[in-house]
A and B are shown apart, each in its own frame.
Chain A
């Protein structure tokens, strides 16, 4: 029943933390809300509608928002799928089958979930390529590049744990192969593999672990990394480039446009386009269900999802230990690239090495992926 002694009388402006008093809203409802939610709307407007360079009107510069939107699709469809999924080796496959065949719209939600995961990985790769080839990872944005690499790793691990949950043949044998690959890492490998599988072999514990990783740990990790990624991007602002094309450069007097609502609207158009593409893919190519996992029989032809094709081919071309170590090295090189690149450019400022290496890496990945896609063995 006590009145709050510190609350200003009605009609007085609110000053959060004793700071600058907020402008008093005109309406009574506005004043009521401001007292309960003392947010400085001007400050919010100032921090959200910063001017962004004109080249952001180009579709290539909307690729960063795409994986984030697809992640939101994943979250919504994933939560819905988890209502019927049973993370138990004896029931997992049947529960997926039930969702795909009996539950209304189950097949559709599962197809959207699978297709948006594939598109998310593709979008992350395209976004990374855009950032890499425009040199947007350079000082002072090295940290955000590294967070981005972390997001790529988390997204790939997300995809892997996701298809393990279905508990079809690929799920089981994919997990077995991944476990044995982990074991090949020198020194820590065997411990890491045991930790991942929850034992010496893929079994009951493994599915529970993958499930918890897929619905709890990885979503939390991606959300945190994504938050840091966007925060850093907003703090640094969009990288400014010099363009020849007047369309990208903008006119002399109008080189920028506001982030909100203009760029947000472009992103929303992309979002509607994505919703359309995903619906078409889910309806035209719904996700099926292969044979149930059989720990006693490895299928004659087994391939991972397309985004792991290159590792699979690399593994076949080189030895196990070499493949594991070299993939680890490439990962580390990608992570540390902003610093390696800076060291090269200190010695040779005009060096185009990063672009050449980038093209080489993209070509190598495409060749390995296509090779694996068309090879029978």
Chain B
């Protein structure tokens, strides 16, 4: 063993050059493997998306003209309003930069506290950055079976 080491370190000559190149290749491949493994290890796994339809509430429970908040199993909130002509379920996430909107009773509108986005009861953006960008509140699909309302949600599971 020590004879090999002696040759490896004795400097000069073709053998020494080969040893140097082998060392560089060895160290380089270790560094590349470590980098690749670390990147794969740190980058999150692809999230699993599940679509399903769940019971929301009896239709009679939805108030007319103002939003009622329902917590959803995916952690989000649906603001459900009977506009008079239809029942709409809106996501409370502002389409601008993701803050949570709330219902302002005096104005009869949804307002985002972050940058002053204002939305109609049906989710249409009418003022602030969302209106400028033409982005309305996201709507959940609502279906009515008999007297009950069902909502289509998309859950994201991060493994």
**Nearest residue, chain A, Cβ from B4:** A269
A322 within 8 A of B: no
Asked if A265 and B23 make an inter-chain contact with CB atoms under 8 angstroms apart, the answer reads: yes
B30 within 8 A of A: yes
Q: A57-B6, A58-B5, A103-B41 are in contact. List 16 more A-B contacts (CB 8 A).
A: A59-B1, A76-B38, A80-B38, A80-B41, A83-B42, A102-B45, A102-B159, A104-B45, A105-B41, A109-B37, A257-B9, A263-B9, A266-B5, A266-B8, A268-B27, A269-B23
CB neighbours of A368 from chain B (8 A): none
B11 within 8 A of A: yes
CB neighbours of A272 from chain B (8 A): 23, 26-27, 30
Tell me the residues in window 95-146 of chain A with beta carbons closer than 8 Å to chain B beta carbons.
102-106, 108-109
Tell me whether A58 and B41 are in contact in the complex, defined as CB-CB below 8 angstroms, given that A262-B11, A272-B27 are known contacts.
Answer: no
Contact with A along B77-114 (1 / 0, CB 8 A): 00000000000000000000000000000000000000
CB neighbours of B8 from chain A (8 A): 265-266, 269
**Nearest residue, chain B, Cβ from A250:** B6
Asked if B41 and A109 make an inter-chain contact with CB atoms under 8 angstroms apart, the answer reads: yes
CA A269 to CA B9, docked complex, whole Å: 10
Asked if B9 and A265 make an inter-chain contact with CB atoms under 8 angstroms apart, the answer reads: yes
CA A57 to CA B20, docked complex, whole Å: 17
Asked if B2 and A58 make an inter-chain contact with CB atoms under 8 angstroms apart, the answer reads: yes
- Per DSSP, chain A at the interface is helix
- Per DSSP, chain B at the interface is helix
Asked if B42 and A268 make an inter-chain contact with CB atoms under 8 angstroms apart, the answer reads: no
Tell me whether A105 and B1 are in contact in the complex, defined as CB-CB below 8 angstroms, given that A83-B42, A247-B6, A268-B27 are known contacts.
Answer: no
Q: Size class of A's contact patch?
A: 20 to 34
CA A104 to CA B38, docked complex, whole Å: 9
CA A275 to CA B20, docked complex, whole Å: 18
Tell me whether A268 and B6 are in contact in the complex, defined as CB-CB below 8 angstroms, given that A80-B42, A105-B40 are known contacts.
Answer: no
In the complex, what's the smallest C-beta–C-beta distance from B5 to chain A, in angstroms? 5
In the complex, what's the smallest C-beta–C-beta distance from B13 to chain A, in angstroms? 13
CB neighbours of A109 from chain B (8 A): 37, 41
CA A244 to CA B6, docked complex, whole Å: 17
CB neighbours of B30 from chain A (8 A): 272, 275
In the complex, what's the smallest C-beta–C-beta distance from B85 to chain A, in angstroms? 48
CA A106 to CA B43, docked complex, whole Å: 12
Tell me the residues in window 269-292 of chain A with beta carbons closer than 8 Å to chain B beta carbons.
269, 271-272, 275
Asked if B9 and A76 make an inter-chain contact with CB atoms under 8 angstroms apart, the answer reads: no
Asked if A105 and B37 make an inter-chain contact with CB atoms under 8 angstroms apart, the answer reads: yes
CB neighbours of A83 from chain B (8 A): 41-42
CA A247 to CA B6, docked complex, whole Å: 9
Asked if B9 and A57 make an inter-chain contact with CB atoms under 8 angstroms apart, the answer reads: yes
CA A337 to CA B40, docked complex, whole Å: 49
**Nearest residue, chain B, Cβ from A58:** B2
B54 within 8 A of A: no
Tell me the residues in window 1-59 of chain B with beta carbons closer than 8 Å to chain A beta carbons.
1-3, 5-6, 8-11, 19-20, 23, 26-27, 30, 34, 37-38, 40-42, 45
CB neighbours of B38 from chain A (8 A): 76, 80
CB neighbours of B26 from chain A (8 A): 272
In the complex, what's the smallest C-beta–C-beta distance from A12 to chain B, in angstroms? 37
Contact with B along A236-264 (1 / 0, CB 8 A): 00000000000100000000010000110
Q: Top 4 nearest A-B pairs by Cβ distance?
A: A262-B9, A272-B26, A105-B41, A105-B37
In the complex, what's the smallest C-beta–C-beta distance from A185 to chain B, in angstroms? 41
CA A1 to CA B159, docked complex, whole Å: 54
Asked if A104 and B41 make an inter-chain contact with CB atoms under 8 angstroms apart, the answer reads: yes
**Nearest residue, chain A, Cβ from B37:** A105
In the complex, what's the smallest C-beta–C-beta distance from B104 to chain A, in angstroms? 40
CB neighbours of A105 from chain B (8 A): 37, 40-41
CB neighbours of A269 from chain B (8 A): 5, 8, 23
CB neighbours of A247 from chain B (8 A): 2-3, 6
> Would you mind naming 10 contact pairs between A and B with Cβ atoms under 8 Å apart?
A59-B2, A76-B38, A103-B45, A104-B45, A106-B41, A262-B9, A262-B11, A265-B8, A268-B27, A272-B23
In the complex, what's the smallest C-beta–C-beta distance from B78 to chain A, in angstroms? 30
CA A58 to CA B38, docked complex, whole Å: 35
Tell me whether A76 and B41 are in contact in the complex, defined as CB-CB below 8 angstroms, given that A265-B8, A265-B23, A269-B23 are known contacts.
Answer: no
CA A265 to CA B9, docked complex, whole Å: 7
Asked if B5 and A57 make an inter-chain contact with CB atoms under 8 angstroms apart, the answer reads: yes
CB neighbours of A59 from chain B (8 A): 1-2, 5
CA A102 to CA B157, docked complex, whole Å: 14
Interface-centre pick from A58, A80, A257, A269 (highest chain B CB count, 10 A): A269
CA A103 to CA B10, docked complex, whole Å: 45
CA A103 to CA B43, docked complex, whole Å: 9
**Nearest residue, chain B, Cβ from A83:** B42
Contact with B along A72-84 (1 / 0, CB 8 A): 0000100010010
